[in-house]
Amino acid sequence: MLYRDGQSGYSKFHKMDRLCKLGFLGAELLLSGTDLLSRYDPYEVGVILSNANASLDTDIRHQKQLETGFPSPAIFVYTLPNIVIGEICIRHGIQGENTFFIQSSFDPEAQVTYIDHLLNSQVISACVGGWVECLGEDYDCFLYFVESRPEPEHSESRAYSAEHIRQLFQLNYE
């Protein structure tokens, strides 16, 4: 429904697995109207995501197809969790650092530490971070955007910290 109501017109959307669709739509909402590539070189923007179950939702579908004798290459393509990052990067023209971490639960301290290192060492200047989880009927998507040189109208925004990200993540469940 969200995809149909949006204006994204991304032809590969309907071929994606559920994890990719979830992350893709989350990024569409997050980055809508940001005009990202007019402010940053594509190599200056990164994507750092995590979840607890990797691509298990799609792996289960792929395994069932293996058992019937003829697995679909269209499903096999999505048996790596970092494919969601690839779809986000293709859609938004992002070519910077990207990493997908598998963790038992969302760990803002680890993610912020990693993103801070990338920002402080000038590997990237902006980053999409977050948690994208999909397994069976359970799914979560929490994405945020940070930059080392925010737009002037956002210069008084709240400081980026693990505690701030944790609070935003918890608001997602209230």
Closest C-alpha to 171, from 132, 140, 148, 147: 140
Total structural domains within the chain: 1
Is position 10 within any domain? Answer: no
pLDDT of the residue at 151: 60
SS3 state at 130: strand
CA atoms in the 13 A half-sphere facing the CB of 49: 30
Is position 32 within any domain? Answer: no
pLDDT of the residue at 70: 82
Is position 21 within any domain? Answer: no
Is position 38 within any domain? Answer: no
- Per the structure, the complete domain to which residue 126 belongs is given by 43-171
Per-residue pLDDT of the chain (174 residues; tens, 9 = 90+): 444 544 457 788 989 999 999 999 999 999 999 989 999 999 999 999 999 999 999 999 999 999 988 888 888 898 899 999 999 999 999 999 999 999 999 999 999 999 999 999 999 999 999 999 999 999 999 999 999 876 665 555 557 899 999 999 999 776
Q: Which two tokens stand for residue 127?
A: 């980053």
162: domain CATH number is: 3.40.47.10
As a whole number of angstroms, the distance between CA 78 and CA 83 comes to 6
Is position 117 within any domain? Answer: yes
| Whether the Cβ atoms of residue 58 and residue 172 lie closer than 8 Å to each other | no
Q: Which two tokens stand for residue 142?
A: 């929490």
pTM, two decimal places: 0.88
Is position 4 within any domain? Answer: no
Closest C-alpha to 49, from 138, 150, 140, 156: 140
Is position 81 within any domain? Answer: yes
DSSP per-residue letters across 6-58: SS---TTGGGS-HHHHHHHHHHHHHHTT--HHHHS-GGGEEEEEEESSTTHHH
Is position 160 within any domain? Answer: yes
- Centroid of chain to Cα 121: 22
